[in-house]
Structure 1
Amino acid sequence: MENVFIARQPIFRKNLSLHGYELLFRSGITETAQVNDGDSATSEVIMSTFTVFGLQDLVGDSTAFINLTRRFLVESGPLPLPSDRTVIEILEDVSVDDELLAAVQRLKKQGYTLALDDYNYSRETEPLLELVDIVKLEMPVLLGDGAEDLIKKFRSYDLTVLAEKIEDRPQLEHCRSLGCDLYQGFFLSRPDISSDTTLSTERLAIIELLSKIHDPDAEIPELEAVISRDLSLSYKLLRYINSAYYQRSFEIRSVRQAIMMLGMKELKRWASIVSLCNATDKPEELVKLLLVRAKMAELLANDLSPELADACFMAGLFSGLDALLDRPMEEILTRLPLAEDIKKALIEGVGPTGEILNNVLAYEVADPSGLHLPKLTAEEVRQHYLSALQWQQSQNQMI
């Protein structure tokens, strides 16, 4: 259990509201992202979910999607998973026979939602279609000529169709046009850049605020003026500084007082987070993802190079600016007075800050081959991820 890595990937409904998370897991640090012992890793992810992590910490009030191997399905006893919040995914390489069908029927009677992962239709696996609730289809299948007919067939079984491994917005729109119900992949963190895309007034305002907040020469009166011009921002700042998080015995009543009490470092963090949250046309899950990145990067830096902690936090937070604003990262950064090490981390992924950010990005997709943290154990890295998830949830309540 000490060597298991756990991450999560969101699953969305048609309107891009959150439906749940698939728990991604790898057993140990290897040279490849594949799990050699699927049954062992399955056991570890379930045990660590409920002992080391806790389902609430990993997915909040949402639904967890978890892969189970044939052996685990057939041989295990009652699962320590809440049936009303768990989708059990049956892997694509399972052998379908009476023993497996009996195991699936047992889980269905226990109230679990069942899904077929990376499904390719065949006569052998057809009996499963009568028992499961969701079928997951990868992009190569959905881009194929027979995708529409295949989806019609699944509709005849009254199945929910989940499109997975969606890499960008054009693929997302293709899956929507096919009538898929749920969507999963890396498209959320990819910008949607087209030749006629320009920065809207709202997005320009976000960049202008970030530019002023991160200007090393900005004085407190200037920051006070910028924040005070936005009534919503002023309200949020006063609500934040007076929240239970700070446990003050007196109330802060002015923007200037709040700035003085927070200090420049915390003000930059708070204003940056709130600014990103104001990109209202994007799913809030993208901002949650960036908050987790930022905090995990900071926590890793605290262990490895404490002097880089603040830069790593900002690099993690701004690593999705291109996806939030739908503009190339290079273009956005020309407007922001960020330190050169942060810019290099964001554009080229190089330098000490870039190396830490790269490790966070590798962990995010459960890719141990991309982790290069010789000074830290797998358990320590995993704990930093959990702490980042918990911190992100606390921030949602205060911004």
Structure 2
Amino acid sequence: METRDGPTLGSDSGLAGVDAPSGVPERLAHLGRQPLLDRDGMLRGFELLFRGDVENEADIEDADAATAQVIIRTIGEFGVRAALGGHKGYLNASRAMLLADAITLIRPDRFVFELPPDIEVDAALLGRIVQLHAKRYRFVLDEVVLPDATFAKLLPYVESVKVDFSRCSPELLPKLAKVLKSAGKLLIAMKIESKEAFEEAKELGFDLFQGYFFARPQMLTARRASAPRQALLNLLQLLSSDPSVAQLEAELKLSPVLVMHLMRLANSGENSIGRKAVTLRDAIVATGTNRITRWTQMLLYADGRKVPLEDDPLLQLAATRARFMELAVRRLPNANRQVTDAAFLTGVFSLVDAVFGDSLERTLEDLTLSRHIRSAILHREGSLGMLLSAVEALEHGDWAALDRACETLAPLTAAELAELALKAAAWASSSDHTEDSAGLERLEDHE
């Protein structure tokens, strides 16, 4: 069940239908998420990054155990769908968290537990892992750089191994991958930040990949546009000038692909019930310029491989940023419709270089965005620039950078921003989250 303010603890919360444990201290937990992609570049999960602090820690005998309880409770409060959509969550599990009774409240079908490389391994921990494995929980050996004693002790109990691609030696990588694959382990390459690293990891047999390589301009060749992007740019430029229906109709007629998409958009969702748009003019009037504008902005990112909206990592990232910016700026003083729209634009176009392959500065110039939006994206200036820095910090789990951004974003706090980011993630992950994105799913490439 959900309320207007966000998900509540329930069947899809990530906890097994049980209330969060009692006696847990007030929590100060921030949550970020990092995507995991498959060999085709599609989303297959998110690693959840927690910053868990406990108030009145001096009164708590075991701070690690208390923090583990805080994290478990946070999962329940925010809900699985808010953080993950329909994907699995990869959760860093400390020794205290694994030994806590409350961990069995977390649904094993929604989470995989990551075992840190410095975890203390003894009979008690191994016994607990065996016990949890019998309850269908699954484990990942995290941040492997060089096989050591901890690696050897835990390897028989994990189904996946996450290798730090940036730190593991090039000589060791092929041997390690071969041995682990022969042992039947799923291989995850972490810290993949370029197309070259992605291709190398694929060649070595890795199955999943973690990093933001998909948002780099050099990944352009791996994506197929779902509509001619120059036509989308022309349409966006026209929309920025408050055009008439006749002007929009004339521009859209220059691109049959956009006409097809707009007709589908106009005839989808609640607005289409009881009536159908049969002409282009009907579709424009039924949809409205504001909705057409947001649809066009997001269509820039849509991959044309008939993939679901929630599986497209670049579209997910752009949509989450845009919605976060919009939600967060409303909490700042003097926010109005113009400021809100500018915030959404800032989030959308912060990744536009990944679509066009040109430099970010030249691409933003071509979009004729206002100066303060360009400054926010290029130089992180102003409140929009600080909000963009904040959402990037949450994406990477960089809590120090989040705190720095919050110094100039009063009255917003880090905890509030983290919660807004999860609401934005839920908005982006749901295929029916808003009329703005209706018609974006499973777009066909008719170029």
**What TM-score do the two structures reach when normalised by structure 1?**
0.87
Output the CA distance in 2 between the equivalents of 1:44 and 1:109. Answer: 25
Q: Is the 8 A contact 2:229 2:300 kept in 1?
A: yes
In angstroms, what is the RMSD of aligned CA positions? 2.9
Shift of 1:184: 0.3
Output the CA distance in 1 between the equivalents of 2:116 and 2:411. Answer: 35
Q: Which moved more, 1:266-275 or 1:99-108?
A: 266-275
The equivalent residue for 1:214 is 237
Residue identity matched to 1:342: I
The equivalent residue for 1:316 is 347
Residue identity matched to 2:426: Q
Residue identity matched to 1:302: R
CA offsets per residue over residues 355-384 of structure 1, 9 Å max, x none? 222222222223232231330244432332
CA offsets per residue over residues 49-86 of structure 1, 9 Å max, x none? 22x22112321222111111012213435522221232
Give the counterpart of 1:363 among 387, 394, 398.
394
Over 3 Å counting, the alpha-carbon distance change for 1:144 and 1:212 in structure 2 is: same
The equivalent residue for 2:335 is 306
Give the total of aligned pairs.
388
Q: How does 1:144-223 map to 2 (within 5 A)?
A: 144-192=170-218, 205-215=228-238, 216-217=240-241, 219-220=243-244, 221-223=246-248
Output the CA distance in 1 between the equivalents of 2:168 and 2:270. Answer: 47
The equivalent residue for 1:273 is 298
Q: Is the 8 A contact 1:207 1:336 kept in 2?
A: no
The equivalent residue for 2:445 is none
Task: Determine if the alignment matches structure 1 residue 57 to structure 2 residue 85.
Answer: no
Shift of 1:343: 1.4
Residue identity matched to 1:163: A
Over 3 Å counting, the alpha-carbon distance change for 1:214 and 1:204 in structure 2 is: same
Output the CA distance in 2 between the equivalents of 1:268 and 1:320. Answer: 17
Over 3 Å counting, the alpha-carbon distance change for 1:397 and 1:25 in structure 2 is: farther
The equivalent residue for 1:330 is 361
Task: Determine if the alignment matches structure 1 residue 94 to structure 2 residue 122.
Answer: no
Over 3 Å counting, the alpha-carbon distance change for 1:245 and 1:355 in structure 2 is: farther
Over 3 Å counting, the alpha-carbon distance change for 1:250 and 1:204 in structure 2 is: closer
SS of residue matched to 2:109: helix
SS of residue matched to 1:344: helix
SS of residue matched to 1:83: coil
Residue identity matched to 1:349: R
Q: Is the 8 A contact 2:353 2:360 kept in 1?
A: yes
Output the CA distance in 1 between the equivalents of 2:386 and 2:167. Answer: 35
Shift of 1:175: 1.4
Give the counterpart of 1:17 among 42, 56, 60.
42
Q: Which moved more, 1:351-360 or 1:259-268?
A: 259-268
Q: Which moved more, 1:312-321 or 1:328-337?
A: 328-337
Output the CA distance in 2 between the equivalents of 1:238 and 1:41. Answer: 51
Shift of 1:210: 2.1
Q: Is the 8 A contact 2:81 2:426 kept in 1?
A: no
Output the CA distance in 1 between the equivalents of 2:358 and 2:191. Answer: 23
Q: Is the 8 A contact 2:82 2:423 kept in 1?
A: no
The equivalent residue for 2:136 is 111
The equivalent residue for 1:34 is none
Task: Determine if the alignment matches structure 1 residue 352 to structure 2 residue 383.
Answer: yes
Task: Determine if the alignment matches structure 1 residue 296 to structure 2 residue 324.
Answer: yes
Shift of 1:213: 1.9
Over 3 Å counting, the alpha-carbon distance change for 1:233 and 1:88 in structure 2 is: same
Output the CA distance in 2 between the equivalents of 1:365 and 1:41. Answer: 20
Q: Is the 8 A contact 2:266 2:272 kept in 1?
A: no
Shift of 1:202: 5.5
Q: Which moved more, 1:385-394 or 1:272-281?
A: 272-281
The equivalent residue for 1:73 is 98
Output the CA distance in 2 between the equivalents of 1:56 and 1:42. Answer: 21
- Any unmatched runs of 5+ in structure 2? 1-25, 55-62, 441-447
Output the CA distance in 2 between the equivalents of 1:69 and 1:230. Answer: 54
Q: Is the 8 A contact 2:27 2:52 kept in 1?
A: no
Q: Is the 8 A contact 1:315 1:345 kept in 2?
A: yes
Q: Which moved more, 1:123-132 or 1:289-298?
A: 123-132
Identity %: 27
Residue identity matched to 2:321: R
Shift of 1:40: 4.2
Residue identity matched to 2:113: I
CA offsets per residue over residues 240-277 of structure 1, 9 Å max, x none? 33433447664444333443454433321121112321
SS of residue matched to 2:269: coil
Residue identity matched to 1:325: F
Output the CA distance in 2 between the equivalents of 1:124 and 1:218. Answer: 63
Output the CA distance in 1 between the equivalents of 2:40 and 2:169. Answer: 21
Q: Is the 8 A contact 1:26 1:367 kept in 2?
A: no
CA offsets per residue over residues 134-162 of structure 1, 9 Å max, x none? 11111234443211122222234221111
Residue identity matched to 1:45: I
SS of residue matched to 1:5: strand
SS of residue matched to 2:128: helix
Shift of 1:398: 4.2
Shift of 1:279: 6.0
